[in-house]
Amino acid sequence: MTKIVVVGANHAGTACINTILDNHQGNEVVVFDKNSNISFLGCGMALWIGDQIDGSDGLFYSSPEALMGKGARVHMETGVDSIDFDKKIVYATSIDGTKYEESYDKVVLATGSLPIIPDVENGHLENIQKVKLFQHAKEVIEKLKADKDIKNVAVVGAGYIGVELVEAFQLNGKNVTLIDVQDTCLPTYYDQKFTDMMKEKMVEKGITLKFNQCVKGFEGDTKVTAIKTDKEVIPTDMVVWAVGFRPNNLVGKDHLELFKNGAYLVDLCQKTSNPDVYAIGDCATVKDNSIEAINYIALATNAVRSGIVAGHNIGGTPLESLGVQGSNAISVFGLNLISTGLTVAKAQAAGLDVLYTDYTDLQRAGFIRENYPVDIRIVFEKESRRIVGAQLASSQDVSMAIHMFSLAIQEGVTIDKLKLLDIFFLPHFNQPYNYITMAAITAPND
């Protein structure tokens, strides 16, 4: 029997625990989590705040009770203080002060990520919020309901969470300002052609965009009344930080090998530099197939897969990660953006010499009454012609197409192979010469 201690039980941790308990019976599993809940789907947080779903119950897919029902010993609201990696002991303290010393054969670090909160003037004022946990979203919702004087809301950070929150607050009838130090939104996953679409959509919906501005501090006595940037003072009644996350490496940063951003370096089996220590989820690195190298991509889907891989390897069934492409999507104000792999800008920043092909067409045959346009960009290496990224935009759900591109990147498919791919035609679904085929056919050669 192997004794396994899992530190953290959100997406990665829950996947790992379930994998061990469901497939490798006979092992002892002990779990520590600082939070009071597990498996919170943060991607649904903006939907909850924007009253687009019926409450928060559906945002959880597991519970401490479910894990205990399978045989795990679970300690919630219990933070791990330190780990003695030589003696193989985990030291933890519960919210009521109870101390734990738990030995282990294998330990899994699933500590996730922490929100980045810049240290700026008056950052302690009321109604300056962060958004990461269930409790954070709940607090925002309660304040919006209780304080009718909250009319102006500012979101700092124009990544996925920031843009989704913009819609949520707009649906709450608030005047919304989006602030970012960069000159656009969503630059991590989309090129300018697509980020411009989102900017135009937000402006159309009445959102005030303040790009190329850095937040320097806040004004107010007890509650925030304004944001001070390097360019102006912006009145506001609530501020939400959404500038990003960093890997939570607190318990192992002085003992394990780290990536350049502080994430634990792991192999394809999720092992760290210590063979008895595994790291999974947002605190660990991934193999990025688009650049064919180690990278850091914090996504819940990556976290779940890493937990499954670690669980099987700990349980005695060898399994290696296939790597990831960072597939993702956003749906805001009726605009759907979907991507996988690299943008042109990110490919160039990674040192790749790339070309791209753009194509715009109707999804279905032209004579179909209910129709809609689709924009696609495929990014590929100039010399090898290997596909390294794809981006899609539409008012409708065209997301399934991105899975093919994800597999194409994983398997090293070239843009030229895509030209003659067997794609069916039926007027209800696509064009005789569909936008994917046409984008490949019209791809430049140099």
Distances (CA, A) of 442 to 40, 152, 306, 384, 402: 43, 47, 37, 17, 19
Model's pTM, two decimal places?
Answer: 0.95
Choosing from 24, 43, 255, 269, the catalytic residue is 43
Q: Inform me whether the pLDDT recorded for 90 exceeds 90.
A: yes
Choosing from 11, 75, 136, 312, the catalytic residue is 11
Question: How confident is the model over 67-89, as a mean pLDDT?
Answer: 98
pLDDT-derived band of residue 446, with 50, 70 and 90 as boundaries?
Answer: confident
Domain boundaries for CATH 3.50.50.60 within the chain = 3-42+57-114+246-315, 117-243
Separation of alpha carbons 299 and 11, rounded Å: 10
Q: Report the percentage of the chain scoring pLDDT > 90.
A: 99
Residue 1's pLDDT is: 86
Separation of alpha carbons 284 and 262, rounded Å: 9
Decide yes or no: CATH 3.30.420.10 for domain 3-42+57-114+246-315: no
The conformational region for residue 262 under phi > 0 = left, psi -120 to 50 = alpha, else beta, is left
The CATH number for 117-243, chosen from 3.40.50.2300, 1.10.260.30, 3.50.50.60, 3.40.30.10, is 3.50.50.60
Superfamily of domain 334-441: FAD/NAD-linked reductase, C-terminal dimerisation domain (3.30.390.30)
> Considering the chain, what is the average pLDDT of its residues?
97
Query: Catalytic annotation on 312?
Result: no
Separation of alpha carbons 281 and 245, rounded Å: 13
Residue 250's pLDDT is: 96
pLDDT-derived band of residue 228, with 50, 70 and 90 as boundaries?
Answer: very high
Q: Inform me whether the pLDDT recorded for 68 exceeds 90.
A: yes
pLDDT digits (tens, 9 = 90+) for 268-303: 999 999 999 999 999 999 999 999 999 999 999 999
pLDDT digits (tens, 9 = 90+) for 310-324: 999 999 999 999 999
Distances (CA, A) of 274 to 20, 53, 88, 215, 257: 20, 43, 11, 40, 9
**Phi first, then psi: what are they for 263, rounded to 5°?**
-70, 150
Query: Catalytic annotation on 124?
Result: no
Q: Report the percentage of the chain scoring pLDDT > 70.
A: 100
Domain boundaries for CATH 3.30.390.30 within the chain = 334-441
